[in-house]
Amino acid sequence: MIPLRDTIPSETAPVVTRLLIAANVLVFMHQVGLGQYAGEALIRTYGLVPRRVHLDRVETLSPLLTSMFLHGGWMHLLGNMLYLHIFGDNVEDRVGHLRYLLLYFACGIIAGIAQVTINPHSALPMVGASGAIAGVTGAYFLFFPRARIVTLVPIFIFLQIIELPAVFFLLFWFAFQLLLGIGSLGMDTATGGVAFWAHIGGFLAGMVLGPMLALSRPRTVRPAW
């Protein structure tokens, strides 16, 4: 299922969401512009390599941040930015610009820690904004349970555009991540793969932190979705 948009207009301009998308795109363009070998070296240096991370040593923690702005390819980048574009504006609207930025980075860091905890000996660099974006979707899940997501759904050999309840769409996404995450436990990850536990950790972090940040922000009354 590919989300195309949601049905909730934001009340304020999603400045931070747009800046985050721009930053991710610009970093990726720089990464691609370096060429294959230098680009891979950039990922090895600034990506999150679990076996290099020691949570009790501050100097090893910077990749928890830098890895969020690196991506493994155009499809990886476009998929992440699509989700951020669809779900980010409304969450930013609800919690406020600065709190939203805090939510994004906090969820991204927690997502990285979750993946490192599950697979601490991996020598492969983990890159991508998906852990932070999973946190944004976790907050969206609680804030806008009655929203609807316009979704492209493959049905046999046909593609159908339908509106799905946000609760169903995000529960399905989370259950899929959890199922694959459990299935990946104990598997050899030497050839790479998806950081499912980063997605799971980020989503749960967003469910916890999102409401906390929203409660601390005075706001005008708006319809419940």
Q: If you average pLDDT over residues 56-77, what whole number do you get? A: 91
**Mean pLDDT along residues 154-178:** 91
> Measuring CA to CA, which residue among 79, 40, 82 is closest to residue 192?
40
90 compared with 216, residue with greater pLDDT: 90
Locate tokens 């806008």: which residue?
144
Look up 85 and say whether it is catalytic: no
pTM: 0.90
User: How confident is the model over 95-138, as pLDDT tens digits?
Assistant: 999 999 999 999 999 999 999 999 898 889 999 999 999 999 99
With CA atoms as reference, report the closest residue to 69 among 33, 49, 42.
42
Confidence of residue 225 (pLDDT cuts 50, 70, 90): low
User: Looking at the predicted structure, is the pLDDT value of residue 224 above 50?
Assistant: no
Q: Considering the domain 2-215 in this protein, what is its CATH number?
A: 1.20.1540.10
- Reference 207, options 196, 199, 195, 218; nearest CA is 199
Among the listed residues 67, 71, 122, 130, the single catalytic one is 130
Q: How confident is the model at residue 157 (pLDDT cuts 50, 70, 90)?
A: confident
pLDDT of residue 18: 97
Task: Look at residue 159 and tell me whether its pLDDT is greater than 70.
Answer: yes
Calpha distance 223→225 (Å, rounded):
6
Rounded to whole angstroms, the Cα distance separating 28 from 5 reads 24
Percent of the chain with pLDDT over 90: 74
Catalogue the E-assigned strands of the chain: 2-6, 148-155, 158-165
**184 catalytic per annotation:** no
Catalytic residue among 10, 30, 199, 216: 199
